[in-house]
Every structure is written in C-alpha cells, then in structure tokens.
Structure 1
C-alpha cells in the first residue's frame, strides 16, 4: 500500500523525509498556497518598478551586470535552464531524485522564491504520478547551489530531456502529456529559483544518513553476536563505566549491547575458567566507537533536518516589503560538513566490524577452528570473506577523506569558494553498500562461530532470533561452497533492516 506524506513547508520531520526516500508519495499542505501566490505577485510588483534586480531582469553569476529587457525575460529563464543542464555521469537513483524533488517542492512552497503556483503544482503532480526526471549525478560543486542537477530536473519540467515512467525513459514532453500534464512556461525568476539551492546535495546526504542509521543498528547486532562467538566478556558494557564518561551515544550503545547479550548461556559458560583477562578493542571498545559514531550521525541529522526545512535559492523574495535580497544561502557548506561526518561514521563502523571478523577467523584469538571451518586445510572457510571485508573497509577509508576542505573557483572567479557538498554526499550510498557487505560477512562469521562452539549452548533470546533468521537463508558452512551467494543473502538481511527487526521487541538506538 502506498504511503502518503503531507509536506508542511519549514516543518517537515526527518521521519517524513525518510519515508519519502523509502517510497512514500509527498503532497503539499494546501495552507502553503497563499504564500506562494503572494511571492509571485511580489516579483511582478518588483518588475513593475523598472529597477535592475539580480536573477529577475539581469544575467546570472559573472553576467549579473547585464540588464535584460522585458521582452526577453521568458527566454532568459529558459536559457539558464538549458545552458546549466550540463551534468554528466550515471543518473541519480530514482528514490534519491524523488527526494530531491520533494525537498525543492518544500523549499519553493515557503513563499520566498517568487515562483508561480503552477510551477509548484507541476512538481507536486510529477511526484504523485511517478514521473522522475533523468538527472546526471555529476556536475555540482555545491555552490552556487546544485546548478547542473537541478537544471536537468527543471529541463524535464519544461519538456526537455528525459523522464522515467515505471522505469522506462521517455522524452520529457511526451511523458508529461501522457500523464495529463503540460510542460511549464517559466516566468520571471523561476528558472533561477528552480536551479538554485542545495536540494541535490541534501537529498544525497539524507539518503546516506538513512542508510547509515540502518547499518549502525545492524552492526550493533552483529557486534554482540561476534562477542558471544568469541566468548568475549560483557563486563566492558557495565553501565557504571559509561556513566563516568557521559557521552550519550556511548551510554546508549553499551545498554543495547548488554540487552542483546543478556541471558546468553555461551557468555555464562565462560565467566569462570577463562584465562583471558581483557578482550581486544574490537569487542571491548564497541560502546566507545559505535557510540561516537551514533553521536556523529545524530549531529549530521540535526544539520540536515535544518537544511531540509530551509530556503536556499537566490535572490530571496520578501513579499511584505516587495524586496529581492541577494545572498548566499545556496552555499552548501553545512551539507558538506554533515556528509563528511556521515562518511567518517560509515568508515569507522566498518573498520571495527572487520577487526571482529579478523578475530573470529584467527584461532589464537577466538579459540575457534581456523577460519571458522571444521576441517581447516582441506577447506578455507572464511579466509577470503575476511579479505573481502578488508578490501571494502580500505576502500571506504579512502572515500572518507573530507570533501568539505576542498574548493575550486568557478564562474570566472565570481564563485570563488565552493563547498563540494555534492560529491561529498553522493559517495555515501556506495560507502553504505560497502559497509552493508562488511556487516553481512560479520553476520555470517559470528553465526558460524556460535555454531562451532557446540555443547548445546545457546546465545541470548535476541541473538538466537538472529541466528534462526540467518540459518533460514544460509546454512552452516560444513565444507567449502560458492561463498558469494551466502554474502548476498546476508547483505539483504542487513540492508533491508530485517536483521535489526529480528531482535524486536528490543529497541535499537535511532537518529530521532
């Protein structure tokens, strides 16, 4: 059943954006319509004064000093769309493109952009009818707005370029008309209002954030299962330790790990007679590492929640004073910082998970058969899955280098400092896919480790539910077999959230 989300401009929750990313259909709160109409009327009044106003009757960027006559205003707006639709590369994923459209809809609806009601209504209708512009993902530096990708979105609205309908690319004009919609004729300022803004960067950053949230939860579960498989101690998760440090994420993470392991017969069997005094950091320091990642993701979430409810085009229209004020809200530095934080969290979650996989395959550390196979030598077991995890973690380390510290002047040095938010955010989905595979490998290794302990010992109730789920898709590894399908099946459990849901009614930490 299709879920619908009503956008109240300036007050859209993170949960609503998450729902849209997952497939919900957005619509606009009708209460926003008067402000949109009044903003468009203000543009007409400003034009009537005959004064040069940037983006309304002048050129753009370095050409802002060029005055445009009234007869050419419509052509001016169409030209900026066509000239700026210069993106390259693979198209945006459909769900991210739709999130971008919804973000732009909510921004325009705040009545500070000077667009016509018809423009907002067309964007809303395209979302409702499942019409998604084909938008090349490369070409934005994150200031002056995400110009190239948003230009491709806008080009589709005026009947140029391509639109995806049920996964099939059609000519934009044809797709609109088949859906009973007319291509848009842009009025004064409208092309600039649609092109300017941070919606491409923000949509990609939100997509990365929502994937990171699910992967964080899955990695907590696999981390607890690995601790049991390695017969590690739950003493490092004692609440008194974490209360003294006071970090909220650390306290919550430790509490979750305790709850995941509570009642484990595997853990109870090693409370006495085990000569190991302390576990390696990848087990013992999970609350500190994962808690820090949670705090970082929540900080990024707060930034993106603010950005997604803001207006970031230029100039901005203030209808109460009939003023058009030119500023720099299109600069995506907050989004760039948030994207870098998400990238760091994704990297570190995977890094510590890979160390747990490495521990489990090492018989000296885990006290389990080498490479988690009952017949090592004849079989290689989990030898190469650990190598795969290491490769993915190193790839994410390289991608986690901050994008926000880079800048390159554009537009003949008019736009001389840019945020690089676009590719900083765009890398997050591929990093998330890498992490999903790492967590999937840990899930398989931890379940295998628990199987090899034997003696009829069970883990805790939540972790036994996880083991049953894994074994319903992937049998215990007795002899070597084609491993890739096993990883694929486990990755599906991780990426879809099914793994995290398996521990219900235990509630895992979330962003909000």
Structure 2
C-alpha cells in the first residue's frame, strides 16, 4: 500500500500504483490538514471577493456571482469545460492523472472538502478510470479540459472505463455504492486548475523511458558481441576523460554486461601485434561503425535527460499547482499561476527528443545487422532460409524505419507552440498535455523498434551458433526472449510475434541502469 500525504511520492511509488495495482491510503495527519484548510477557506471567504468563488472565471472574473449561485457556478465550470475530443486516454493514463491530482490536494492548499480526496482514493483503488479525451488542454490554467472530464465523473456524470469497457458513471457508482461529490465551496475550480494530466502522463513516460534505455543498452552490448567488437570504446580509461555522468554510467554498465563475454576482443591482442604491419589491407576492422562504438556517447546524454526529467516531474507531482493557493497557515489566499505547465512541457519535449534519438540508434544498429555488406558475417536480412526464396527480417525493417521516421516528425517541440486564447487572458501557454501525450507516442513507437531489433539479434545469434560464448547476462536474455519468439527459418507473418516481444519489453527490465 502506498501512503499518500506523509512524504513526497516517488517514481517508484507511482510505478507500484500503476503497474502493480498497489492501493493508495491517505495519511491521517495530511487529511486533517486538508480539513483545516477547507475550514479556513469557508471562514475566510465570507464577505470577501475571491476569484473563482464569487466571481466568474478567466476573463469573466470581473463579473460578480450572486450568493445563491456560487455552488452552481462550480458545476457550470465542470460541465462547460468537459469539451474534450479525439481519442480517449487509456485507463492507465487516466489513473495516473487521478494519482497526480490526489497528491496535489493532499498538500492542503486547495481548500477542498475531504469528500474529494476520499472519492479519488476510491476510484484509484477500484481501477475506475474517468473517460478523458486527449485533445483540449493548452496546459496553462491547468489541464482544464482533461481535468474537467475528471470533475464530470466525480460529480457522478459522464463515463468511466472499468475492466476495459466504457460505462455510464452512474452505473459503476451504483455498482460500488459510490456517492458522487457535492460541491461545498470551490471544488470545481480546484479540480480543473492544475497540471495533473501532463504530470501523470509525464511520470508514466519517464518510467517507460527508463525501460527503453535499459533495453537499448542491453541490445547495444549484444550487437558488439555478435560482431566481436573490441573492448576499448566502453573502457573506463577512454570514458573517464569525458566528464559526463551519463556517458560514464553507460560505459560502466556495458562493462558489467560484457565482463564474462567470450566474444568481445582485446585490441592489444589482435591489432597491436607487429605482424599486422606487413598487411596492406587489414582484414579486421580497425574501428567499428559509430552505432557500435559510440554507444556511451549516444546513450549517455539520454540517461542524463531522463534523470533530469524525473527530478522535474517528481517535483511537480509533489507541488501545489492550483490557483488561487489557499494558505491556512499564513491566513491568506494568494493569486498567481502555479497551474502553468512550462516545467513539465519543456521536460517532455526534451525527453521526446532523447527517446527519438534512442530509436534512431536502434534503427542504425538494426540496419547494420541486416546489411551483409556492412557486417560481413551474417546473411542478408539475417535470413536463415534459402536466399532469394526466403526473406528473413526484410519485411520487419520497413516497419522499424517507418516508425522511426514518425518519431522524428513528432519530435518537434510543443513548448514553443504557445497560442493565445481565452480572450487573450491566457496569452502564453505551455501546451504541456500535448507535449506529454506526444512523448508517450514516441515512447510507444520506440518499444516497437526495439522489439524488431531484439528479434533480429536473436536470429543473428542462432545463425552464428554463439549462444555459449555470450556473456551470462546476454545469454539470460536470449533464453527468456526465445521462449516468447522462437527461431524461424520459413517465412510466416510476424505481426503477432512483434506484439508479444513488444509487450515483453514494456513489462519487464533486464539491466537496472537507474537502480538507486
């Protein structure tokens, strides 16, 4: 069980809730603070003009709302902004959004009634996910449209996803005997005003990006084994003179993976032999292609980018991202822009670019294995059948190339796509939810590319019959992956194999590059 409100949520906590269905519990002391904060707002807001309580919203804030309409105002906000379009977010993304919003409320600066946090806990623990659409939010006054659809469900309206089926909210609430939220003071605005959609999606993206880097590191090491590369490019001595944490971390992990390999060669034993000086043309490649010997320099900055994204997004999920901020300790209400999503938006764009580069490295390594003129030791397309009659991995390369090209186009940043809206009240916006969703698409695409790469590596190992010469780490992965994707010689459709291997990569990790 993950206790919310006692200490900051970590990426590991988030992963446990999303992927292992760990239930959440509410820290009693934090719940007491939420109650105190609500009581302060109730008392403080009497006979005062306070934005979003007895005024309109955004550019309509100059209009006063009468006392008998202030609760209906909150319902109007939720219903009017439930205007999303496009695809439904998956249930796990919707759950991630709820965890992020719950954690923000547990900071006790939003003036919400404890009914809100109890209801969110119940939905999370029962895997009841609001139907939330991808299109709508501009990431400035919070993820308004996405969070409005959350609010719609909390008040008992709209639809939810339960057991992968869309149901009317009322049906599921009745089944679980869940009471819809009643508005007390400003629950509508508090639910909408925040970065919880982009932040929840961002946390999920970082978890999956870590897995991708783990796999890319593993596959890069295995390809170096397959081609019997020299060991100096990932040596401590070479990488230590480059003062980047990520590069040296990747080099260290490669050395660990390959420490007992019988295929990696020592340069001094092969190329530093004086007898080689008599040759006019060297049979051995003096240096490998960049995609093989520059792994530490390529994956290093990706490692650093993921670490930076984790720090920023974890800070955001543990922050108060509401407006105004209800501060019962200082006995005041502060208006500003903590709902603005620039921090998350920029990190998602950086992460998206980094993962696109990872997929590009994968595609180049894949091409090296498939092109016999480059590797000079494998048949074309690692074809284990009859050349010209069978096709090996030829068809799958098209899918990998096409998917990487899509990643490259998706990598143009959203962060610089600010478009004024809301009668120019929101005159500079973050587009953070768009950035997070596009990053998720790049991440999902990259798992497809790496799945094709792994399938090709397995075929290459079988052609060379080098299983017993692999490092113990590589051999372990070979055995696990072959149980999912058996060796093939004759041509058969591969789309189901690709799906199975992709799901294996998404759900598990082999090398813990990010072990704390």
CA distance in 2, matches of 1:269, 1:311: 55
Instruction: Find the partner of 1:83 among 65, 80, 83.
Output: 80
Q: How far off is 1:231 after superposition?
A: 2.3
My pick for the range that moved more, 431-440 or 300-309, is 431-440
Corresponding position: 1:509 with 2:513: yes
Partner of 2:424: 413
Instruction: Find the partner of 1:369 among 379, 383, 408.
Output: 379
Map 1:321-360; keep pairs closer than 5 Å: 321-360=330-369
Cα deviation code 1:329-354 (max 9, x no counterpart): 01100000111121012101110011
Q: Secondary structure at the match of 1:113?
A: coil
Q: How far off is 1:298 after superposition?
A: 0.5
Corresponding position: 1:159 with 2:156: yes
Q: How far off is 1:442 after superposition?
A: 1.1
Partner of 2:173: 176
Corresponding position: 1:16 with 2:2: no
CA distance in 2, matches of 1:245, 1:145: 41
Q: How far off is 1:306 after superposition?
A: 0.2
CA distance in 2, matches of 1:396, 1:511: 27
Asked whether the 8 Å contact 1:9–1:110 carries over to 2, the reply is: no
Q: TM-score normalized by structure 2?
A: 0.93
Asked whether the 8 Å contact 2:4–2:24 carries over to 1, the reply is: yes
Cα deviation code 1:53-98 (max 9, x no counterpart): 1111110000011111211111111111111111112221111111
Q: How far off is 1:376 after superposition?
A: 2.3
CA distance in 2, matches of 1:465, 1:104: 40
My pick for the range that moved more, 273-282 or 60-69, is 273-282
Corresponding position: 1:27 with 2:25: yes
Instruction: Find the partner of 1:234 among 231, 235, 257.
Output: 231
CA distance in 2, matches of 1:426, 1:172: 25
Instruction: Find the partner of 2:476 among 455, 459, 465.
Output: 465
CA distance in 2, matches of 1:432, 1:254: 23
Cα deviation code 1:127-148 (max 9, x no counterpart): 2233221111210010110011
Map 1:76-155; keep pairs closer than 5 Å: 76-155=73-152
CA distance in 2, matches of 1:103, 1:19: 14
Cα deviation code 1:388-425 (max 9, x no counterpart): 21111111011111110111111100010000111100
CA distance in 2, matches of 1:160, 1:455: 60
Q: How far off is 1:446 after superposition?
A: 1.5
Asked whether the 8 Å contact 1:143–1:332 carries over to 2, the reply is: yes
Q: How far off is 1:6 after superposition?
A: 1.0
Cα deviation code 1:253-279 (max 9, x no counterpart): 111112222222222499637520000
Asked whether the 8 Å contact 2:230–2:265 carries over to 1, the reply is: no
My pick for the range that moved more, 326-335 or 22-31, is 22-31
My pick for the range that moved more, 96-105 or 465-474, is 465-474
Map 1:34-73; keep pairs closer than 5 Å: 34-48=32-46, 50-73=47-70
Cα deviation code 1:20-72 (max 9, x no counterpart): 22132222111112211111112112222x12111111100000111112111
Corresponding position: 1:193 with 2:190: yes
Q: Secondary structure at the match of 2:241?
A: helix
Partner of 1:6: 3
Q: How far off is 1:9 after superposition?
A: 5.6
CA distance in 2, matches of 1:479, 1:179: 52
CA distance in 2, matches of 1:15, 1:243: 30
Give ranges in structure 2 of 5+ residues lacking alignment. Answer: 272-282
Asked whether the 8 Å contact 1:9–1:309 carries over to 2, the reply is: no
Q: What is the aligned-residue RMSD (CA, Å)?
A: 1.8
Q: How far off is 1:430 after superposition?
A: 2.0
Partner of 1:488: 499
CA distance in 1, matches of 2:99, 2:467: 53
Cα deviation code 1:223-263 (max 9, x no counterpart): 11111122222220001111111211111111111222222
Q: Secondary structure at the match of 2:424?
A: coil
Task: Say how many residue pairs are matched.
Answer: 501
CA distance in 1, matches of 2:180, 2:65: 24
Give ranges in structure 1 of 5+ residues lacking alignment. Answer: 502-506
Q: 1:452 to 1:167 in 2, by over 3 A?
A: closer
Partner of 2:214: 217
Corresponding position: 1:294 with 2:303: yes
